[in-house]
Each structure stands twice: as C-alpha cells, then as structure tokens.
Amino acid sequence: MSSSSDEESDFSDSEINDYVEKPYQELRTGKYKVKGPNGSLRCPFCAGKKKQDYKYKELFQHASGVGKGAASRSAKQKANHLALARYLECDLANEAEPVLPRAAPECTEAEQKKVFCWPWAGVVVNISKEKADGESVEDKEYWLKKFSLYKPLEIMLFHDNQVRVSEAIVTFDRNWTGFNNAMEFEKSFEASHCSKKEWSAHKSCPSSNIYGWVAREDDYRAEGAIGEYLRGKGELKTIFDLMKEETQDRNKVVASLANEIDMENENLDELQVQFNLKTLSLRRMLEEKDILHRSFFEETRKMQRLAREHVQKVLHEQEMLSVELESKKKQLDIWSRELNKRETVTEREKQKLDEEKKKNLS
C-alpha cells in the first residue's frame, strides 16, 4: 500500500494519542497553516467549513471539542484536532487574547461553599519519563510553556525513588484572574477526558495521558508529596471565605481612604484658613502701600508746587530789583548832569567875583 493510502487509513479511538505527534510536528514545520495572512486563525483540518476566521479561544475550544470526541468524527480527525489544541497551547500561546482581571465569579450558594486549596493550585499526575518534542518532561520550562495559556506562576515537580517525574503542582495568581485561569486549566483536562474523575476511575490502569485538576480539600489532606506541599504552602478556603475576605479588605481600604480623605479635608481647611489670613494680610499691605504711594505722590506734587512758586517769587523780586536799580541809575545820571551844570555855573560865578574883586581893588 502506498504512503498516501497509509496517511488516509484510519485507526481506533484507543490509538488516538499515539497518532497526535505526527500532525503536531507538521503544524510546527508549517505544512498546515493556522495563521492567515490577515492575522486571523483557521482550522487546517476543517478546510471545507464556512467558519475560517477564529479567535484564539474559539479555535482552541473547537480543537478541544473535536479532539475529545463525537460519534460523527473519525479517530484521525480527533488526533488532528488534539494536535491542533496542543500546537495552540505550546506554540501559539502568544496569540491568546489577554484575559482582563475580573471580579469574584458569580457562583451559586452551593458552589461558594466548595473548598479549594489557596493559593490556587493545579495537580498534574501520571507524568511519564518519556521525551516530548526533544525536551525532557522533567524540565520546568517545558511545563510552563505547555500550560502558558493559563498563565501559571510556578511548576513544582515531584520524583519517585526511580528519579522519574510522576506528579506536579501548577500554581496560579492569588486573585480571581488566577482562579479563572485555574478553572480553565481544569476544563482543558475535562475536555480531553483526563480529569480527576477519570484518574480516580482508571488509576490502577491509566492511559499514557497526563491527568489534571484544581487542588481541593482531598488533595490538601492526601498523603504523599502533593498533600505535604499543599499543606506547607497554602490553606483551605471556600469561594465564600475569599469573597468575604475580599469584602473586608475592600471595606478596610475604603475606611482607610475615607480616613485619609477626612485628614486631607482637615489639612485643606487649615490651609484655607492660612490662605485667608495671608490674603487678608496681603490686602492690608497693598492698601497701606496705596496710601503711602498716594501720600508720597501728593507730597511730591506739593514740594514741586512750592519750588515753582519760590522760583517765580525769586524771579519776580529779581525783576523788581532790576527795575529799581535801573530807575536809581537814571536818577543818578540826572543828578550827575545837574551837578555838572551847577559846577559850571559856580565856576562862572567865581570868575565873575574874581573879576569884580579885581575891579574893586584897582
């Protein structure tokens, strides 16, 4: 039989996990294209379908849904889609839409009373010593990359006496976003029929798959490395407990902020009083400055007026003295002329007297 016919041949559901590696490697090498030219995502194994413009989460749900099986799907189709889901998780995790932080999940009263290990943690079991994609499954980086879609914080691996990786703890953020990521982590295993329920049912003779779930009270109290680690690192809490603590913390923050606001208001009132006093003082200073300025201006004008009057008076007196001096000068000239005339007359009379005296003597 030709190789092409071998590729088209189908296999049983029990062999699905053995046939995932080949299409996964073909996705990695680019034989099957997932990203379109416009950045959209498509399913290369459903080329005839109208829906060929997926968001990351939609495509992952499609691949996981087909991979977990339906009567109308062949084993090969399931293997191909499981490979696609794995490719999305391990190689295209950066295409995932950012998960916005959310408030506490809406839960029924019964769900709120369910006990979880906190901080949120996921349990992974049945890890084999086999290699995966050329990397050792004992490498934490491998598991962080594998579960990167769920934003894990840390991976803790546990070994048995034969130094074989057998179990792991995946920790998530302590907030509600971390809780949502943990639940999505658990749902991915449920979609692949590798949940805690399946592990409990087939623990004595499990498949080669890994199993995973979110750690709860029975895991916390369990014997062994998992239980010891959970008891050492966390505690048991219900959703209701965490919501109550969150409310109390929020109320404390609100009360603290209200107290800070009151103190700030008191400081603001005090600053307002100081501002008003400074404003009043400044207003008084400006008024005094205006008064001094007006006084200075009026005094300056008065001094200028007196100086002008004094100058005018001096000029007037000088003019009067000049007129008087001129008048006296003219009077002196008149007196001088009269004196000259009198001297002339006196000289003539003296001459006459001398002549008469001479005549009388002769």
pLDDT tens-digit map of 18-44: 678 888 888 888 888 888 777 778 888
What value does the mean pLDDT take over residues 89-108?
Answer: 62
How many CB atoms are located within 10 Å of the residue 92 CB? Answer: 19
Q: Which residues lie below 8 Å from residue 133, measured CB to CB, with a gap of 6+?
A: 90, 142
230 close to 219: Cβ distance less than 8 angstroms? yes
Cα separation, 192 vs 210, in Å, equals 10
According to DSSP, the residues that pair with 124 across neighbouring strands are 168, 212
Q: How far is Cα 182 from Cα 152, in angstroms, rounded to an integer? A: 8
Peptide bond into 119 cis (omega under 30): yes
3-state secondary structure of 324: helix
C-alpha span between 16 and 80 (Å, rounded): 9
Q: What percent of the chain has pLDDT over 90?
A: 23
104-107-108 Cα angle (round to 5): 150
Specify the range with the lowest mean pLDDT, choosing from 48-62, 225-239, 245-259: 48-62
Instruction: Return the top range by mean pLDDT from 17-21, 91-95, 202-206, 219-223.
Output: 219-223
Task: Note the maximum CA span of the chain.
Answer: 207
H/E stretch holding 242 reads helix 239-361
Average pLDDT over residues 88-101: 64
The string of DSSP codes covering 91-147 is TSGGGSPPPPP--S----HHHHT-EEEES-EEEEE---S-EETTEETT-HHHHHHHT
Q: Is 269 exposed, middle or buried (0-12, 13-18, 19+ CB in 10 A)?
A: exposed
Report in angstroms the alpha-carbon separations of 218 from 116, 150, 188, 347, 348: 9, 23, 21, 168, 171
Q: Which has the higher per-residue pLDDT, 312 or 202?
A: 312
Alpha helix stretches (DSSP H) within 225-238: 225-233
More confident residue, 265 or 273: 273
Name the residue with tokens 């086999």.
130
pLDDT tens for each residue of 32-89: 888 877 777 888 888 666 566 788 877 887 877 777 665 566 778 888 888 888 888 7
Report the pLDDT value the prediction gives residue 51, as an integer from 0 to 100.
61
- DSSP 3-state assignment of 59? helix
d(CA 149, CA 59): 13
Least confident of 124-133, 261-270, 332-341: 124-133
The average pLDDT across 250-278 equals: 83
Cα–Cα distance measured from residue 206 to residue 68, given in angstroms and rounded to the nearest whole number: 17
**Main-chain phi, psi angles of 213, to 5 degrees:** -165, 175
Q: What is the pLDDT of residue 137?
A: 59
**pLDDT of 98 over the 60 cut:** no
Distance CA 15, CA 209 (A): 12
**pLDDT at site 304:** 93
Sequence-distant (6+) residues with CB within 8 A of 149 are 60, 88, 89, 93, 96, 184, 188
Alpha-carbon distances of 1 from 75, 79, 215, rounded to whole Å: 20, 22, 49
- Residue 193 scores a pLDDT above 80: yes
CA 72 to CA 173: how far, in whole Å?
39
Report pLDDT for 132. Answer: 46
Contacts of residue 46, Cβ cutoff 8 Å, sequence gap at least 6: 52, 62
What does the DSSP assignment read for 280-298?
HHHHHHHHHHHHHHHHHHH
**Bridge partners (DSSP) listed for residue 237:** 116
User: Contact 63/81 with Cβ under 8 angstroms?
Assistant: yes
pTM: 0.48
Please state, rounded to an integer, the average pLDDT across all residues of the chain. Answer: 81
